[in-house]
Amino acid sequence: MAKKQFKAESKRLLDLMIHSIYTNREIFLRELISNASDALDKLHYLSLTDEAVRAKCGELHIFISPDKEARTLTITDNGIGMTAEELEHNLGTIAKSGSLQFKESIDTSDEEAVSNIIGQFGVGFYSAFMVSDEVTVRTRSTITDEANCWTSTGADGYTIKPCDKETYGTDIILKLKADTEQDSYSEYLEPYRLQHLIKTYSDYIRYPIRMELEKTRTVGEGEDQKTETYKEVETVNSMVPIWKRAKNEVSEEECRAYYKQKFFDSADPLYTIRISTEGVVSYQAMLFVPARAPYDFYTKDFKKGLQLYSSGVLIMEQCADLLPDHFRFVRGIVDSQDLSLNISREMLQQDHQLKAIAQNIEKKILSELKKGLANDRETYEKFFDAFGLQLKYGVVSDYGMHKDKLKDLLLFYSASQQKRITLEEYITAMPEDQKYIYYACGETVQKIGALPQAELVKDKGYDMLCLTDEVDEFVMQMLGEISGKTARSIKDDNAELQSDDTKEKIETAAEENKELLAFLKETLGERVHDVKLSQKLKSHPVCLSATGGITFEMEKYFAAMPGNEMKPKAQRVLELNAEHPVFEALKRAYASDRERAKTLGEILYDQALLIADLPLDDPAHYTELVCSLMQ
Ligand code: ADP
């Protein structure tokens, strides 16, 4: 019979599996057991409504049998089985979902890349080729009764032919690879090793996983007493779902292993949250905060939700109503005996129990994150790197409805402490005379530090939060008052950074130079809303500030948004430093040479734009002006 070829992408993945140096090969067993368990689930589900199927069902179980002589390991289930067509479809193509982002070539010696693929795309069945030279699938469909045999030695394709099989379900027969100096495959023939793997990875599987194990017993009496070995079939797994087991019975390690397998992640979760409550609502939950955001997390393709069980039976794969948007990164399982098994999706949304559970879950996540923040900053920062942005979106969404609960979870970069701190930490460190929480927005911390206005803050001994995310400015505005303090941008007119003395001095100077300022305003025309003497400059000659509610960061934010409609713009105010020698030069020019004063005014405006990290209206004109002064 002619060999059939795997689909192109599958072939590449297969190559990868076979040749990878992936050290975590042992996971093949849990993958195959998980498939077997799914096949049992499907049969169980069908049997609920189909009597003919029910008649064919025995007691559902999985059987693992190593054969040292034949060097094979067989995983048997009496589940739903597959027809020839299903064999072709299911085992001839990998990742039918199309989620396989296989465009870039992957370096197979890069363990991280390989394990990522194995994790993210659940290449399940194919992991068998990491330990086998040949894989045979003998399967009999419970639906059509036909039995077929699929065989493959890997990348060169596979064959499918009819066969005889008495029992329903599937046998996966692995012909294990020969041992090499570095690698032992024989270990997968050792019952105790297999038992250990099952316990580690598949303990919670709902069906018994059985093995024939060697036991010893003492027989005879007195001098005739001796030990003999015998074989007995035993159920290896405890069958209790991991989230139903008592907290102190499940190690953190087990939870992590479970997460990685269940949610196809190769990285440990940052936090594991376990809930078990009884009372108004009774439920158990096992929740995880992943270490990194999925590639589509910040897109509309990402779907939030928790798996929902009713007394151990899955009723909904992804229940979105259980998670508020600001915690949409959380993954996990919720199991409640209070929910009806047959509840429809529409009914679920109305369900009071479900609402109560969702509220409770939100509270719990919040308190765990706060605990994480207080107890282990390093881990929390990793969390914040991955999902901090989501929390900020949470603050500004729904008209600020969630800001109070989320504000304590935020971190911002502190200019004086040179690390990220919370708002509360900022406030605690404020000197007594400091009235406001100062912040500045910009592209990078460096650029913010170089802002002319930053000097005054530093001179006063105040700290400043450097905000580098686009949404940050909105977050600050939304937060309003924080523990009795309001936040002010150092670029704000009312930043109040000068002493009363200096303030007065500047006001007097402004009065004296009224005409000059009006002249500059006229010169710059529509480009500026106003020209004035600054209260926030020290060594820099100029800066630009915004008035009227729209800040420069907002302007940039709107400009970057798609769409051609009129984008809101910040109203620009050119601020001059009255103490700076340049201002003296300007004054002299104004008195003696109006053209020169015009040129200086225009150059200063463009310089202010540059410092504010805003594009020049006409860069060529700016250069011309500078050159004209040089000549
Ligand atoms: P996944 O389990 O993620 O869908 P796999 O490559 O592990 O991917 O399996 C592909 C498909 O093959 C499964 O979705 C299932 O339909 C089928 N399959 C695998 N193992 C079995 C089995 N023991 N019994 C019935 N069907 C199976």
Residues 203-251: pLDDT tens digits? 878 899 999 998 889 898 888 899 999 999 999 998 888 898 889 988 9
Q: Which residues pair with 234 in a beta bridge?
A: 211
Which of 14-28, 93-107, 250-264, 446-460 shows the lowest per-residue confidence on average (mean pLDDT)?
93-107
Condensed to tens digits (0 to 9), the pLDDT of residues 571-580 reads 999 999 999 9
What is the mean predicted confidence (pLDDT) over 346-372?
89
Is 487's pLDDT higher than 60? yes
606: pLDDT strictly greater than 60: yes
Q: What is the end-to-end Cα distance of the chain in Å, rounded? A: 89
- Enter the DSSP assignment of 525: G
pLDDT of residue 499: 75
Running DSSP on this structure, what letter comes out for residue 325? G
Tokens of 218: 């003492």
Cβ(123)–Cβ(94) below 8 Å? yes
Ligand 1 residue neighbourhood (C-beta within 6 Å): 35-36, 39, 77, 79-80, 82, 90-91, 122, 124-126, 170
pLDDT band at 351 (very low <50, low <70, confident <90, very high): confident
CA of 6 to the centre of ligand 1 (A): 16
Q: Which atom of ligand 1 is nearest to the CA of 77?
A: 23
**CA 205–ligand 1 middle distance (angstroms):** 16
Q: Which of 38, 144, 205 to mutate to test the pocket of ligand 1 (most atoms within 8 A of CB)?
A: 38
- Count the alpha carbons within 13 Å of 470 in the hemisphere toward its beta carbon: 8
User: To test the ligand 1 pocket, which listed residue (6, 35, 100) has its Cβ within 8 A of the most ligand atoms?
Assistant: 35
Give 42 Cα–ligand 1 centroid separation in angstroms. Answer: 11
Q: What is the pLDDT of residue 349?
A: 67
**How many Å lie between the centroid of ligand 1 and the Cα of residue 244?**
26
One-letter identity of residue 294: P
Quick check: 123 and 117 in contact, CB under 8 A?
yes
Give residue 481's Cα distance to chain centre.
30
Nearest CA to ligand 1 atom 9: 125
For residues 301 and 286, give the distance between their C-alpha atoms in angstroms, rounded to a whole number. Answer: 24
Ligand 1 atom showing the smallest separation from residue 96 Cα: 4
Confidence class for position 19, pLDDT limits 50, 70, 90:
low
CA of 82 to the centre of ligand 1 (A): 9
Q: Looking at the CA of residue 36, tell me the nearest atom of ligand 1.
A: 23
Q: Phi/psi of residue 167, each to 5°?
A: -90, 155
Helix (H) or strand (E) holding 421, with range, is strand 419-421
Angle at 318 between CA 315 and CA 321, to 5 degrees: 95
pLDDT for residue 53 is more than 60: yes
Rg of the chain on CA atoms, in Å: 34
* Per-residue pLDDT at 463: 96
Pocket test residue of 76, 90, 160 for ligand 1, highest count of atoms within 8 A of CB? 90
3-class state of residue 213 by DSSP = strand
Taking residues 147-160, report their average pLDDT. Answer: 89
Between the CA of 199 and the centroid of ligand 1 the distance, in Å, is 22
The CA-based dihedral angle spanning residues 328, 332, 338, 344, taken in that order and rounded to the nearest 10 degrees: 60
Kindly indicate the confidence band of residue 152, based on its pLDDT and cuts at 50, 70 and 90: very high
Q: What is the mean pLDDT of the chain?
A: 88
Would you state the pLDDT for residue 528? 94
pLDDT at 271: 97
Protein residue whose Cα sits closest to atom 11 of ligand 1: 90
pLDDT at residue 188 above 80? yes
For residue 94, the CA-to-ligand 1 centroid distance in Å is 10
Q: Is the pLDDT of residue 347 over 50?
A: yes
- How far is Cα 270 from Cα 256, in angstroms, rounded to an integer? 9
**By alpha-carbon position, which residue is closest to atom 1 of ligand 1?**
124
> Which residue, judged by its Cα, is nearest atom 12 of ligand 1?
90
The DSSP bridge pattern shows strands 571-576 and 530-533 to be parallel
- Beta strand spans in 446-527 (E): 465-467, 481-482, 485-489
The ligand 1 atom nearest the CA atom of 124: 7
- Average pLDDT estimate for 345-361: 82
Question: Which residue has the least CA distance to atom 16 on ligand 1?
Answer: 90
Query: What is the rounded average pLDDT of the residues 473-485?
Result: 90
546 neighbors 522 (Cβ within 8 angstroms): no
> What mean pLDDT comes out for the span 608-614?
88
| pTM flag (> 0.75) | no
pLDDT at 8: 67
Report pLDDT for 618. Answer: 92
CA distance 584 to 193: 85
Q: If you write DSSP's letter for every residue of 254-293 in order, what string do you get? A: HHHHHHHHHTT-SSPPSEEEEEEE-SSS-EEEEEEE-SS-
| Residue position matching structure tokens 């270490």 | 291
User: What distance in angstroms lies between residue 35's CA and the mean position of ligand 1's atoms?
Assistant: 5
**Rounded CA separation 60/566 (Å):** 65
The confidence score (pLDDT) of residue 343 equals 62
Judged by average pLDDT, the poorest of 17-31, 299-313, 525-539 is 17-31
Question: Between 594-611 and 514-524, two packed helices, what is the crossing angle to 10 degrees?
Answer: 70
Task: Summarize pLDDT for 369-427 with one digit per residue, the tens.
Answer: 999 999 999 999 999 999 999 999 999 998 899 999 999 999 999 999 999 999 999 99
From 44, 87, 100, 125, the mutation candidate for ligand 1 (largest count of ligand atoms within 8 A of CB) is: 125
CA of 475 to the centre of ligand 1 (A): 46
- Considering only CA atoms, which residue is closest to atom 10 of ligand 1? 90
- Residue 331 in contact with residue 317, Cβ under 8 Å? no
The pLDDT of residue 201: 78
- pLDDT over 70 for what percent of the chain? 90
**Which residue is closest in CA terms to ligand 1's atom 21?**
35
Distance (Å, rounded) from C-alpha 219 to C-alpha 345?
60
pLDDT of residue 51 exceeding 80, the answer is yes
Give the position, in ligand 1's atom list, of the atom nearest the Cα of 123. Answer: 6
- What is the rounded distance in angstroms from the CA atom of residue 146 to the CA atom of residue 140? 6
Q: Dihedral of CA 594/599/600/601: which sign?
A: positive
- Quote the pLDDT of residue 115: 60
| Greatest Cα-to-Cα distance within the chain, rounded to the nearest angstrom | 127
Provide φ and ψ at 238, rounded to 5°.
Answer: -85, -15
pLDDT tens readout for residues 75-123? 999 999 999 999 998 887 654 433 344 434 455 556 666 565 555 555 6
Ligand 1: atom nearest CA of 94 is 6
Looking at ligand 1, which atom is closest to the CA of residue 172?
Answer: 23
Chain centroid to CA 384? 10
Instruction: Tell which residue, 39, 24, 313, 33, has the closest CA to residue 199.
Output: 33
d(CA 536, CA 576): 9
Helix axes 514-524, 581-592, angle to 10 degrees: 80
pLDDT at 569 over 90: no
Q: Which residue type is seen at 559?
A: A
Predicted confidence at residue 104, as pLDDT, reads 44
